[in-house]
Amino acid sequence: MADYYELLGLERNASDDDIKKAYRKMSRKYHPDIAGPEFEDKFKEVNSAYEVLSDPQKRQMYDAGVDPNSPGGGAGAQGFDMGDIFGQFFGGGFQGAAQQPIPRTQPGRDALTEVSIDLKMAVFGGTAHTQIHTFGLCQTCGGSGAEGNSQPVTCPICHGEGFTQKVVRTLLGQMMTTAACERCEGHGTIIEHPCAECQGHGRVRVRRDVGVAVPAGVADGSRLRLASQGEVGEGGGAAGDLYIDVHVKADKLYTRDGDDLHCWIGVPMTWAVLGHSVSLETFDGQQELEVPAGCQPGDVVEVKGLGVTMLGTQDRGDIVVHVLVQIPTKLNDQESQLIEQFAASHDANANEVTQSSKPFHSKKGLFGKIKDIFS
């Protein structure tokens, strides 16, 4: 029995959220459109693991030692089907079991890709573009799989039934079994003149440019869904859905925290002491920011309403500006005299440092004195 927990990289006590996150990671890693067609079997195994572990009843069965995905795996809960049991041994079922030809038109699989956007697009939304390699409708035959105006003909072996019957000897005596017709592969019809472009499949491998509508406020790691933009199925069947994993690139000016944008600015000591107006670059253009007099190193100044758009609304977070005060390292004689004058006035009685387990700020009166000296 396959170890589904190991396939998804999970512990046996994993929560539902852990299972979902692991599946998203593994499906992205092994999806044939990203990892390559050689990983198709691995991708199917990941899907099988998620199908079982995401269903509480199936997971309970699996933990009890029964694989619901294996033939007959659900027998304990659903009852035995003798036709299915003998089908495992003889490749078919009892005579008289309902059999229908396999339709040539099959629904397509979902596809997975990814797109990278900059932080500004995450703030305001927009349209991103990505290319996908997938199956598209064959334009030559329109999905029929047949050349020109030719039509599939009835299979001469199974006479359109899609299956054949034969008698086999068993321990219980002779039994009639059914199996898919080898000539028509269970379809009941044969394409005598297949389309040269798609070889009778009704679809071809294509590369498409896809425009992705990115909603304002989208977060890094989000997965978007485009209905009917995935693989076209065999015989020109309906396309599956396309899923797009969104990656938000790092920005040189801002770091995102939820709906807020954080940045750091360095200001001269005198600006922090006396206050100063600075020009701040934002995604909405240049904005005037007032650094208040007496601003301490590490203080923050907020610009309301210019952060990230809150997903699904028109509201926006804030810009949080962290102020880094730049202390001069070299002073000329005049500058040194001014600082010494301030020290003599304010720090004459200072003889020890103040220590605390938490950050603290100096009294505002300090900056009033510095302002008087520099004035």
Q: Is 229 left (phi over 0), alpha (psi -120 to 50) or beta?
A: alpha
Place of tokens 């650094």: 291
Q: Is 8 helix (H, G, I), strand (E, B) or coil?
A: coil
- Helical packing angle, 40-53 and 16-30, nearest 10°: 170
Q: Which long-range contacts (CB under 8 A, 24 or more apart) does 165-174 make?
A: 165/92, 165/95, 168/90, 170/89, 170/90
Q: Where are the strands (E) in 138-221, listed by range?
A: 153-154, 163-170, 173-180, 189-190, 203-214
DSSP 237-266: BPP--EEEEEEEPP-SS-EEETTEEEEEEE
Annotated binding site: 138, 141, 155, 158, 181, 184, 195, 198
| Rounded-to-integer distance, Cα 165 and Cα 159, Å | 12
| Rounded-to-integer distance, Cα 259 and Cα 313, Å | 12
Q: Is 56 helix (H, G, I), strand (E, B) or coil?
A: helix
Annotated binding site for Zn(2+): 138, 141, 155, 158, 181, 184, 195, 198
The CA–CA distances, whole Å, from 19 to 35, 100, 164, 230 equal 21, 37, 43, 24
For residues 294 and 364, is the Cβ–Cβ distance under 8 A?
A: yes
